[in-house]
Amino acid sequence: MWLGKTTMPGLLKINSTLRVTEKIIEGLLWLSALITILVTIGIIWVLLSESIGFFKEVSIVEFLTEKEWTPLFANKKFGIMPLVAGTLLTTLIAIAVALPIGLTIAIYLNEYAHARMKQIVKPMLEVLATIPTVVYGFFALTVVTPFLQQFIPGLAGFNALSAGIVMGIMIIPMISSLSEDAISSVPRSLREAAYGMGSTRLQTSFGVMVPAASSGIIVSVILAISRAVGETMIVAVAAGQQPRLTMNPLVPIETITTYIVQVSMGDVPQGSLEYKTIFAAGITLFVFTFALNNLSFWIKKKYQEKYD
Amino acid sequence: MSKKHNKLEAKNLNAYYGDFHALKNINIAMDEKNVTAFIGPSGCGKSTFLRTLNRMNDYIEGFRVEGDILLDGRDIYAKDVRVDELRKEVGMVFQKPNPFPKSIFENVVYGLKIQGIKKKSILEEAAEQSLRQAALWEEVKDKLDKSALALSGGQQQRLCIARALAISPSVLLMDEPASALDPISTAKIEELIYELKNDYTIVIVTHNMQQAGRVSDYTAFFYMGELVEYNKTKSMFTSPKNERTQNYITGRFG
Amino acid sequence: MTNSELNRLKDKAFQVFGIFCTFIGLVVLAIFLIDIVVEGAKRLDWDFLTSLPSRRASKAGIMTAWVGTLWILVLTTLIALPLGVAAGVYLEEYGKKGRWANFLEINIANLAGVPSIIYGLLGLEIFVRQMRLGSSLLAGALTLSLLILPIIIVTTREAIKAVPRSIRDGSYALGASKWQTVWNQVLPASFGSILTGIILALSRAVGETAPLIVIGALAYVPFTPSSPLDEFTVLPIQIFNWTSRPQEAFLTNAAAAIIVLLLLTFLLNGIAVYLRNRQQRKVKW
């Protein structure tokens, strides 16, 4: 007992083992949390160590300025720009689809729809986010591309357009639900003030709610961009494997992610320059998504301070 | 009758939440097997003081104590004191009934089980004894395996008292134990307190002056972190020495 | 037309557009599901589920793929669940607020945003090469575990946070230690929500393709794996492989395999939603 007076014999002994167990458990829990740090260090270490080998053989200047990416051909060129262009093109199309639709849904659910409808529609939209991306790829290749080819004669079998559109559909729920959260956290008083002055729902939405929730909406868009940049299977299936420095959505292109998949599927020997290219491509991808994610955290933090 | 000894004592006690000076130089000694009531307007420090008596505030960031609190003459904030052992000696009942989302039986024997006591017969005996002491046995003896959350508020609070009694503490701290209950349940709790003081030293925080008058032997009046007056309840209520006490008791503020 | 009439008209127009946008995604989803079912149902039969892969589309089946997926599901659960819950408990109950906690939090948020293919590169280097596990089930499960770890940690923390202070106080007041309180009170009370989060995370892992391709999971495995160190394939990779082939018949196979994969994903999500609803109907604190 607390003074050492023992009403039950043996109790103190049990408790001292308990105390040791307690410390061991805390140590194990701490280790588990530490693993998250190790994962980050691991990612950075793996990407850096392999791509340093790459940059010993290929200059950074060539990597950033060369306009062709042909590491698997006889005439090797190592310019990342075509892959970056392909990634940006599909991302741009995806956001062009997802932003207007997602934001409209967010506004509609907040200002127009009944609470009951919101309850039903939101989880249904989230189904879109649970479908495996390879399945979206199949959809882009076998349904969307043939469908679009009826209207756009020049559309190739593999193209950025279908992949981008389907990716956009996939990230609709991301934008709609994050934006909806942002809009519904705008203080009631602001909305009531707008209605009080005789505004319509549309005027209230675009004149008051959207501007007030703008930082939250921007965060949702940045996270969506980050997601689209890192998306792999849709583009690997439907956008092609031809690195090309173009903004033409109708022709086959290749994204950073697709390139990594392409090399992984083949028989590139470990330690070769070709093998190291996937890490150089990986670190480029990582830098993009890391910057976008942290930008969104930064905006979110500022935004929270504003409302607290 | 032998003179009762000092069970709990605070000497020059100061407590802080960060920069906020919550308790100012408190000196008080409480006798064993008595009921001491802490009264005062909200924010006066009475609950803070109660929670320093079993070190419940240890988990609050930025909280610190200076001075001594003695339990049977030993400083409970001393380095070699195990907080979990202290709490087996000083039980606590909270403002809102907080039964665990488990069966009634599991609630009562929880304190014993975590001490490593597994034998069913001991647990069952302890459960019956504690529930009887808490005047709940007759109401729940046929549904010990039912969820504690299905009990009424008053029953839940008595279950929480039984739970605290099961580990046989010598002190029972009660933080406004009836404030969330209806008048009938409140009366039952008060009766129970009257019974329990035969075996336990009880410290009760209450905002209800009549309740303090009904259940306690001694009353301590706190105001703005200070212990203003401490005396036998009867004397305090009939002839308060301090003007602030008088104003509070007669309902002029608070 | 007066100004206010015009405004009201615009308002109505936007409402119609809102309904259109809300349902376009769902309509596309429906078209897609119908297309898949019509296409895949032709091929989906008992033979398809129990056949090994083949170079002839009409003979090829998904036996190795779905067995591989189940293996991955079980192994990933065994690795990610204890690790994620333990880390979540540490961060929420033990970790002191301050710079270190902030750093851990930002780090986890960052990990959640790392593209899955990057986890593939990590797994390739660490598990496949350094730890010499090869392109095995274990290497795949470890890779996917790291991928879903942030999700599990975040849901665990949220679930634990929802357990009211009074339950912890009650336990501490009875002399329970920190771990006793966590193990006996906090975890049981938040178990339902944690489980929901874990199942959602697993449904994500089941659909992942890219990281497994990168660590070298094969499209053609002529046997079903029998130990965690065996090579393997999974449903998404099989689908990817068939989708990339020019012959129409393989696309039909892919559609049939997609039906199986979607059933599994929807099943997991359905369980999670069911658990969440049941959780919400339980007694409020």
**Cross-chain Cβ contact A264/C177 below 8 Å:** no
Largest CA distance in chain C: 76
Q: How far is C184 from chain B (nearest CA, A)?
A: 9
Region A100-120: what's the mean pLDDT? 91
Nearest-CB residue to C24 (from A30, A101, A173): A101
Region B223-242: what's the mean pLDDT? 92
pLDDT value, residue A151: 93
Question: Between B and C, how many residue pairs show a Cβ–Cβ distance under 8 A?
Answer: 68
**Cross-chain Cβ contact A2/B82 below 8 Å:** yes
Q: Assign residue B144 the CATH number of its domain.
A: 3.40.50.300
Other residues' Cβ atoms within 10 Å of the Cβ of residue B234 = 13
Statement: residue B66 has pLDDT above 80: yes
Report yes or no: A7 at the B interface, CB cutoff 8 Å.
yes
| Cα atoms found within 13 Å of the Cα of residue A57, Cβ hemisphere only | 16
Which residue shows structure tokens 């990986």? Answer: A282
Q: What is the pLDDT of residues A223-257, one digit of tens each?
A: 999 999 999 999 999 999 999 999 999 999 999 99
Report yes or no: A12 at the B interface, CB cutoff 8 Å.
no
Q: Are C92 and C156 in contact (CB under 8 A)?
A: yes
Report CA torsion sign: B6, B11, B17, B18.
negative
Distance separating alpha carbons of residues A296 and A300, to the nearest angstrom: 6
Nearest chain A residue to B84 by CA distance is A2
What confidence category does residue A13 fall into, taking pLDDT thresholds of 50, 70 and 90?
A: very low
Report yes or no: A270 at the B interface, CB cutoff 8 Å.
no
Region B52-79: what's the mean pLDDT? 90
Q: Assign residue C85 the CATH number of its domain.
A: 1.10.3720.10
Residue C44 belongs to some domain of the structure: no
**Nearest residue to B204 (alpha-carbon basis) of B26, B30, B28, B36:** B36
Region C125-138: what's the mean pLDDT? 93
C-interface mutation test, from A28, A36, A121, most C Cβ less than 10 A away: A36
Q: How far is B82 from chain A (nearest CA, A)?
A: 6
Statement: residue B39 has pLDDT above 90: yes
Residue, of A117 and A162, whose pLDDT is higher: A162
Report yes or no: A291 at the B interface, CB cutoff 8 Å.
no
Region C81-92: what's the mean pLDDT? 95
**Cross-chain Cβ contact B74/A1 below 8 Å:** no
**Cross-chain Cβ contact B147/C173 below 8 Å:** no
Q: What is the 3-state secondary structure (H, E, C) of C209-259?
A: CHHHHHCCCCCCCCCCCCCCCCECCCHHHHHHHHHCCCCHHHHHHHHHHHH
**Nearest residue to A86 (alpha-carbon basis) of A161, A146, A152:** A161
Report yes or no: A30 at the B interface, CB cutoff 8 Å.
no
Statement: residue A308 has pLDDT above 50: no
pLDDT value, residue A8: 38
Other residues' Cβ atoms within 10 Å of the Cβ of residue A6 = 11
Kindly list the residues from chain B whose CB atom is less than 8 angstroms away from the CB atom of residue A14.
Answer: 115-116
**Cross-chain Cβ contact C170/B160 below 8 Å:** yes
Report yes or no: C281 at the B interface, CB cutoff 8 Å.
no
Region A246-269: what's the mean pLDDT? 92
Report yes or no: B138 at the A interface, CB cutoff 8 Å.
no
Kindly list the residues from chain A whose CB atom is less than 8 angstroms away from the CB atom of residue C34.
Answer: none
**Cross-chain Cβ contact A3/B115 below 8 Å:** no
Mean per-residue pLDDT of chain C:
90
Kindly list the residues from chain A whose CB atom is less than 8 angstroms away from the CB atom of residue C108.
Answer: 36
Q: Subunits touching C (CB < 8 Å, at least 3 pairs)?
A: A, B
Statement: residue B227 has pLDDT above 80: yes
Under the phi-then-psi rule, with left for phi > 0, alpha for psi from -120 to 50, and beta for the rest, what region is B12? left
Q: How far is C285 from chain A (nearest CA, A)?
A: 23
Dihedral angle at the C-alpha atoms of B232, B237, B241, B243, nearest 10 degrees?
Answer: 140
Total domains present in chain C: 1
What is the span of the domain harbouring residue C139?
63-232
Report yes or no: C21 at the B interface, CB cutoff 8 Å.
no
Other residues' Cβ atoms within 10 Å of the Cβ of residue A183 = 23
A-interface mutation test, from C15, C19, C22, most A Cβ less than 10 A away: C22
CA-to-CA separations, A280 to A55, A268, A276, in angstroms, rounded = 8, 15, 7
Nearest-CB residue to B98 (from C166, C176, C184): C166
pLDDT value, residue A162: 97
Region B24-51: what's the mean pLDDT? 93
Q: What is the pLDDT of residues C43-58, one digit of tens each?
A: 888 888 888 888 787 7
pLDDT value, residue A20: 86
Distance separating alpha carbons of residues A185 and C16, to the nearest angstrom: 24
Q: Are A285 and A86 in contact (CB under 8 A)?
A: no
Which residue shows structure tokens 């009762």? Answer: B4
**Cross-chain Cβ contact B115/A7 below 8 Å:** no
pLDDT value, residue A228: 96
Structure tokens belonging to residue C4: 């206010």
**Cross-chain Cβ contact C174/B96 below 8 Å:** no
Could you give the percent of chain A with pLDDT greater than 70? 93
**Nearest residue to C86 (alpha-carbon basis) of A28, B175, B2:** A28
Dihedral angle at the C-alpha atoms of B51, B53, B58, B60, nearest 10 degrees?
Answer: 20
Report yes or no: A151 at the B interface, CB cutoff 8 Å.
no
**Nearest residue to A223 (alpha-carbon basis) of A176, A168, A286, A175:** A175
pLDDT value, residue B254: 57
- A149 burial level (CB within 10 Å; 0-12, 13-18, 19+): middle
Region B115-123: what's the mean pLDDT? 91
Distance separating alpha carbons of residues C77 and B47, to the nearest angstrom: 45
Statement: residue A34 has pLDDT above 90: yes
pLDDT value, residue A2: 40
Report yes or no: A3 at the B interface, CB cutoff 8 Å.
yes
Other residues' Cβ atoms within 10 Å of the Cβ of residue C225 = 19
Statement: residue A10 has pLDDT above 60: no
Q: Subunits touching A (CB < 8 Å, at least 3 pairs)?
A: B, C
Statement: residue A7 has pLDDT above 50: no
Q: How far is C251 from chain A (nearest CA, A)?
A: 8
Beta-carbon contacts of C133 under 8 Å, excluding residues fewer than 6 positions away, are: C127, C139, C142, C229
Residue B193 belongs to some domain of the structure: yes
Nearest-CB residue to A1 (from B76, B88, B116): B88
**Cross-chain Cβ contact B91/C164 below 8 Å:** no
Report yes or no: B86 at the A interface, CB cutoff 8 Å.
yes
DSSP string, A62-131: HHHH-S-B-TTSSS--B-SHHHHHHHHHHHHHHHHHHHHHHHHHHHIIIIIS-HHHHHHHHHHHHHHHHS
Region B63-74: what's the mean pLDDT? 92
Residue C5 belongs to some domain of the structure: no
Kindly list the residues from chain C whose CB atom is less than 8 angstroms away from the CB atom of residue B110.
Answer: 171, 174, 176, 184
Residue C89 belongs to some domain of the structure: yes
DSSP string, B91-130: EEE-SS----SSBHHHHHHHHHHTTT---HHHHHHHHHHH
C-interface mutation test, from A3, A8, A39, most C Cβ less than 10 A away: A39
Statement: residue A305 has pLDDT above 90: no
Q: What is the pLDDT of residues B127-157, one digit of tens each?
A: 999 999 999 999 999 999 999 999 999 999 9
**Cross-chain Cβ contact C21/A200 below 8 Å:** no
Residue B85 belongs to some domain of the structure: yes
- Looking at chain B, how many residues does it have? 254
**Cross-chain Cβ contact C261/A132 below 8 Å:** yes
Report yes or no: B74 at the A interface, CB cutoff 8 Å.
yes
Could you give the percent of chain B with pLDDT greater than 90? 76
Q: What is the pLDDT of residues A130-149, one digit of tens each?
A: 999 999 999 999 999 999 99
Residue C282 belongs to some domain of the structure: no
What confidence category does residue C1 fall into, taking pLDDT thresholds of 50, 70 and 90?
A: low
Could you give the percent of chain B with pLDDT greater than 70? 98
Q: Subunits touching B (CB < 8 Å, at least 3 pairs)?
A: A, C
| ipTM score of complex | 0.91
Residue B1 belongs to some domain of the structure: no
Statement: residue C235 has pLDDT above 80: yes
What is the DSSP secondary structure assignment for residue B34, as one 8-state letter? Answer: -
pLDDT value, residue A245: 92
Backbone φ, ψ for residue C70 (5° rounding):
-65, -40
Residue C223 belongs to some domain of the structure: yes
Max avg pLDDT among A124-128, A208-212, C59-63, C200-204:
C200-204
What is the span of the domain harbouring residue B198?
6-249
Question: In this predicted structure, which of B64-78, B86-100, B169-183, B240-254 has the lowest mean pLDDT?
Answer: B240-254
**Cross-chain Cβ contact A7/B168 below 8 Å:** yes
State the Rg of chain A over Cα.
26
Total domains present in chain B: 1
Distance separating alpha carbons of residues C93 and C87, to the nearest angstrom: 10
The angle, 0 to 180 degrees and rounded to 10, between the axes of the packed helices A115-130 and C3-41 is 40
Q: Which residues pair with B63 in a beta bridge?
A: B17
Q: Are B161 and B115 in contact (CB under 8 A)?
A: no
